[in-house]
Amino acid sequence: MSPKKKKKSSGVGANFLISLVTVTIVFVFIGYLIGQYAVKALQEQHETSTQLVQSAGTPAVTGAANPALTAKAPEPTPPRPSPSLSPSPQQTVPEPSSPPPVTLPPAQGGGLYRVQVGVFSERANADRLVSRLKEEGYEGIIIAGPPHRVQTGAFSSQDNAARLVEELIQKGFEAIIVR
């Protein structure tokens, strides 16, 4: 009788192992499906935020940006031609009657007001803007990304930051105040 018991116990172990492998495969497949869903949702969010930024009047922004940080006051604008697909860097072009940028309300707990001059998906474009800022006599820093955010100046007063924004706009840059 003991040989029958050994065969039966080895069959139970094999069944357990097969069940364990099956459950593992099911969980891996479910994880894959959830990952695909998350990637699709993030891509749609990226496209939506890019469209919001472009429709808000921000020309030539490459990459994803937080619309709350880069949005300008909504205003009707004529349709813009689609951006070219050339590898050359896209430069910002000042609008003749550019309205003052919208600033964010002060955050709870204080902090510094920073002047953001650009947001790029590629580091090389951010480096070019920093070089251009240095040519004009401003110190520029890149907040690592993507998106790579180019900022200059850090002020405890929003008025001082607003003065720098106006100065940069007069020199052909697009600038907003962020916290």
Beta strands in the chain (DSSP E): 113-120, 141-143, 148-155, 176-178
3-class SS at 87?
A: coil
Length of the chain: 179
Question: In the beta sheet, which residues pair with residue 120?
Answer: 148
For residue 126, give the nearest of 112, 111, 147 by alpha carbon.
Answer: 147
Residues 22-61: tens digit of each pLDDT: 999 999 999 999 988 888 888 777 776 665 555 444 444 4
Higher-scoring residue by pLDDT: 79, 64: 79
Note the pLDDT of residue 51.
59
* 145 vs 67: CA distance, rounded Å: 16
Note the pLDDT of residue 49.
62
Higher-scoring residue by pLDDT: 159, 54: 159
* 5 vs 12: CA distance, rounded Å: 11
Note the pLDDT of residue 3.
57
**DSSP label of 88:** S
Residues 113-137 have a mean pLDDT of 91
Residues 72-86 have a mean pLDDT of 52
Tell me the fold of 60-72+92-178. Alpha-Beta Plaits (3.30.70)
pLDDT of residue 81 exceeding 50, the answer is yes
- Position 104 confidence tier, pLDDT thresholds 50, 70, 90: very low
Beta strands in 33-179 (DSSP E): 113-120, 141-143, 148-155, 176-178
Contacts of residue 91, defined as CB under 8 A and 6 or more positions apart, other chains included, come to 60
Residues 115-121 have a mean pLDDT of 92
Query: Is the pTM here over 0.75, yes or no?
Result: no
The single-letter code of the amino acid at 57 is G
Give the C-alpha distances (Å, rounded to integers) separating 170 from 14, 71, 104, 115, 158.
Answer: 77, 19, 21, 14, 18
Question: In the beta sheet, which residues pair with residue 113?
Answer: 155
